[in-house]
Amino acid sequence: MKNFILLALITLALTLGWGWRGIAQTTSPSNPSSNPQRILTQSMQIRAAVRLIYEQMPEIPLENQYLNTRTGQLDPEDSLISRLLRYHVVTKNRPPSLRFDWKMTIADYLEANEPMIEDRYPGTDILQPNPMRLDRAAIARLTPAQRNQLVNLLVAAYTPVAIEPAQIILPSPTPSTPAPTPQPSPTLDRTPLPQPGDAQFLRL
């Protein structure tokens, strides 16, 4: 059945003059990187991660002094950590939740791993001058302990927090009311009633 449908599509495409390129565009899946919803989600995650890292490590320089050639103004949101995140997630397409991959990215900045291409670095197309050289120098100025802390924060920013189930508090049992202690019944006066003829004893 699938072969029949595919054959029908090919026949229709050739008849209408689409050619093989039109067939490929019709049958190939859409590019996930061009999904607007995915791009928006990535942007929101990056902004949240940047905020977290600068709150925890204010000693990291912002490096947001570059001129945006599209607006003609400085863009304070385009910071060192923002570009580092985009380089990792978008340019290198590395998973953001694995510590080893963040170590590789930091090694790129330290010229100890893969070479960084200036034309593909985040901000190259809109920032003047190109921020890559100064960004690498800023990462190199961090101490090993600071770089290790940065990697830990980067992993934490993309790791879902496990939500523990709410503790169910059971109401304490209401103490049962003790049964009343049975009281002894009053003793009846068992004095014998006067009998006939007892008056004779009173005369004695």
Q: Give the tens place of pLDDT for each residue, 148-157.
A: 999 999 999 9
For residue 3, give Cα distances in angstroms to 6, 18, 152, 176. Answer: 5, 20, 51, 77
The string of DSSP letters for the chain reads -HHHHHHHHHHHHHHHT-HHHHHHHHHSPPPGGG-HHHHHHHHHHHHHHHHHHHHH-TTS------EETTTTEE-TTS-HHHHHHHIIIIIS---TT-HHHHHHHHHHHTTSSSPPPGGGSTTTTTEES--HHHHHHHHHHS-HHHHHHHHHHHHHHTSPPP-PPPPP-PPPPPPPPPPPPPPPPPPP--PPPP-TTHHHHHH-
- Whether 196 shows a pLDDT value over 50: the answer reads yes
Range 6-34 average pLDDT: 42
pLDDT confidence band for 129 (50 / 70 / 90):
very high
pLDDT confidence band for 172 (50 / 70 / 90):
low
For residue 133, give Cα distances in angstroms to 80, 98, 113, 121, 154. Answer: 11, 26, 16, 10, 22
pLDDT confidence band for 30 (50 / 70 / 90):
very low
Cβ proximity of 87 and 72 under 8 Å: no
Q: What confidence score (pLDDT) does residue 110 get?
A: 98
Range 13-31 average pLDDT: 38
pTM more than 0.75: no
Cβ proximity of 155 and 104 under 8 Å: no
The rounded percent of the chain whose pLDDT value lies above 70 is 59
pLDDT confidence band for 161 (50 / 70 / 90):
low
pLDDT tens column, 75-127: 899 999 999 999 999 999 999 999 999 999 999 999 999 999 999 999 999 99
pLDDT confidence band for 43 (50 / 70 / 90):
confident
Cβ proximity of 182 and 130 under 8 Å: no
- Whether 166 shows a pLDDT value over 70: the answer reads no
Place of tokens 């003793």: 187
Q: What confidence score (pLDDT) does residue 169 get?
A: 45
Q: What confidence score (pLDDT) does residue 93 get?
A: 95
pLDDT confidence band for 178 (50 / 70 / 90):
low
